[in-house]
Amino acid sequence: MDEEKEKIEESLAETSFVDKLKNADKRNYVIAALGIAIVVMLVLICAKKFGNNSNNNRNTADNSTKVEQGNNNNSANNQSGDGNQSDNNQSGDNQSNQPDNDNQEGDNNQSGNNQSGNNQSGNNQSGGNESPENGGLTVQIDKSNQWGENPVTTQLAINIVNNSSKSYEGWTITVDVGKDATIENGWNGNYEIKDGKLTITNVDYNFVVNANSKLEIGVIIHNITGSLKAECKVGSEYVDGNVNNNNQNNNQNNNQNNSQNNNQNNNQNNNQNNNQNNDPNANKDSGALPVPKATTNDWLHTDGSKIYDSTGKRVWLTGCNWFGYNTGTNTFDGLWGSDLNTSIKGIADHGFNIVRIPISTELILQWKEGKAPKANFNNAINWYLVDKDSLEIFDYVVGQFRANGLKIMIDIHCADTDAMGHMKNLWYSDKISVERYQEALVYMAKRYANDDTIIAYDLENEPHGKPHEKDKAIWNNSKDANNWKYVAEQTALKIFEVNPNVLVLIEGIEIYPIDIKTNGDYSSTNEKDYYFNWWGGNLRGVKDYPVNLGKYQNKLVYSPHDYGPSVYQQPWFYSGYTYETLIKDCWQDNWLYIATENIAPILIGEWGGFMKEPNLTWMTHLRTLISKYKLNHTFWCYNANSGDTGGLVKDDFTTWDEEKYKFVKEVLWQENGKFVGLDHDIPLGTAGNGITLSQAKGLK
């Protein structure tokens, strides 16, 4: 009986509300009907209210896929770093460890996260997991940019967000990219593709994901054919998710996105433009300046440790580096999310009067042979470059630099086109011989012989090598193939045959014998027999074997590189080091003597880093040295994607890091509050804060 009673009660409980009404008397039916009407009205009112709130929330949504896990949060204080950092297998007390400074951090946040209306899936839809506003370990993965055809190149921007008070150690991200995928570049991590899986792991400096912070990672990949399914492990927490395929910067779908944009005014304007002209960019302003004719009155020369113009006015070269022509991008890095013309104007308006442009020998030879590869950039933003190959874009760059009063220094950064190419010791490789290396430089010097926009050539970036290595750069009086001093002399003379006006910069090496009489041939493999310094920073050999350019000696500039302890903890960065100890322990004997003894000018080709310790003390001391001796320099670097230094601009390659810029500004050439350019006729920049070289008094 009890069982039958329970079954009846369960049956009644499952009976619908309408069935119960049918069994009620008429008075109860009327009362119930009135109740239903009231409930329906309340539901409609609430639906309207909360529906509007939901739309408002979507209008401000972040378009990135956010994968969340409880209250465990991870990130790394927005640190940028060397995604392929290496210890170079160095041992010994005085060894220099030069990690990759060039290509490791980039435009990590170009996915249009503040756009409204479109592509709102993937936000706060992870089945009850907490949103980042409310805490939680969050991984944001954006397919932030895409360009090119055959191959299609995709940029993934990945953020690990930690809003909790807990820190985590170690992280790994795995993404299905397909077996055809290859990596062009990556930053803030170690990258490997195996069996179609992209694996990204932490590097030393971002091993700890600090509380209440964000770690930014990025990678550029060709030929993605996988699902982009991502699996992430941060500390002991596992986070799964998919990459957001709704790329806001997808160049190939740009016109479709414009036509489907929720903004009706933009849609109407785009449709009107398309109806008026088949070219959607026909009525756009590229922001380019009119290009003046090339001139030949800005060539420079040296006398002792100083650099002068043709009128005898002492000048000060104060610039920055902007890489990309060496990495496979085949133009400047950062154009995947920024405008070229705006960037050039920004550099000039901020007072830099010269830009050192790293480039590969391989790319120059491709230009010479009429096989210029396509460049990788955002076609929608830089639409005016779409029909140009990489050489045509470079010529365009030269013209815009000239129009902005900027000068160029070409830096042969590596033999092969490779983001890690500068890690190789020498100026030649299996693909590029010494003769081909020289051929490339002669081609550039001859091509621009009648254009003083390009006023200098840095013959080779950071020749290096350790005592035990067979292929190491040496400096002596031999004619050995790896004797950088000899090769640099021969290469410079070949350049002067086609362009006798340019300056030639010669960097140092890594090691130099302590006893040049007994070990002048570098035969010892004992590290204790050598002085070590940064790659390219050891110019001790100039004292024993100075570069001899004959009648072109007044075109020679020596160019060391110098970095701080955030790149590598050199022995001179001991506790309590000072400006004076840096001079005594490193700078004076390695290269400063060249300036102080009036042998030749110095241009520090690379220096820079993060605006925090342990780097800031060193960087402040070097700035003091630069200011005191008016040493020429090009700051490393403009790029945001320089892993162990950061850049002058932030991840969008548009917003300037004002703190870092203010720091560097103190050693930019200025007279009476105006930045001084190196062009006699065209003022530096268009902001009204720059003057021509003719207007300047010059350094004393």
Contact 405, 681 (CB under 8 A): no
Q: Which of 105, 216, 489, 606 is catalytic?
A: 606
Residues listed for the chain = 700
According to DSSP, residue 218 is labeled E
Question: Which structure tokens are listed for 632?
Answer: 């020429």
| Cα–Cα distance, 19 to 134 (Å, whole number) | 44
Burial of 5 (0-12, 13-18, 19+ CB in 10 A): exposed
| Cα–Cα distance, 368 to 340 (Å, whole number) | 24
- Residue at 618: amino acid letter: W
Task: Give the helix/strand (H/E) hosting 559.
Answer: none
The maximal CA–CA distance of the chain, rounded, in angstroms, is 119
Q: Which 3-state string (H, E, C) describes 401-442?
A: HHHCCCEEEEEEEECCCCCCHHHCCCCCCCCCCHHHHHHHHH
| Cα–Cα distance, 303 to 503 (Å, whole number) | 12
Burial of 120 (0-12, 13-18, 19+ CB in 10 A): middle
Question: Which structure tokens are listed for 496?
Answer: 């002067």
Burial of 172 (0-12, 13-18, 19+ CB in 10 A): middle
Neighbours of 297 (CB within 10 A): 13
**Sequence-separated (6 or more) residues with CB below 8 Å from residue 696:** 313, 671, 676
Instruction: Tell me the β-bridge partners of 690.
Output: 675
Q: Which of 145, 337, 167 is nearest to 243 (CA)?
A: 145
Sign of CA dihedral 428, 430, 435, 437: negative
- Residue at 108: amino acid letter: N
Q: Which 3-state string (H, E, C) describes 94-108?
A: CCCCCCCCCCCCCCC
| Cα–Cα distance, 427 to 460 (Å, whole number) | 7
Establish whether 462 is a catalytic residue.
yes
Q: Which of 138, 17, 144, 141 is nearest to 68 (CA)?
A: 138
| Cα–Cα distance, 263 to 269 (Å, whole number) | 10
Residue 63 DSSP SS3 = coil
| Cα–Cα distance, 36 to 626 (Å, whole number) | 82
Establish whether 460 is a catalytic residue.
no
Q: Which of 148, 154, 157, 151 is nearest to 221 (CA)?
A: 154
Calculate the CA 234 to chain-centre distance: 25
**Sequence-separated (6 or more) residues with CB below 8 Å from residue 544:** 476, 516
Q: Which of 462, 489, 507, 510 is catalytic?
A: 462
Neighbours of 341 (CB within 10 A): 21
Rg (CA), the chain: 30
| Residues with catalytic roles | 462, 606
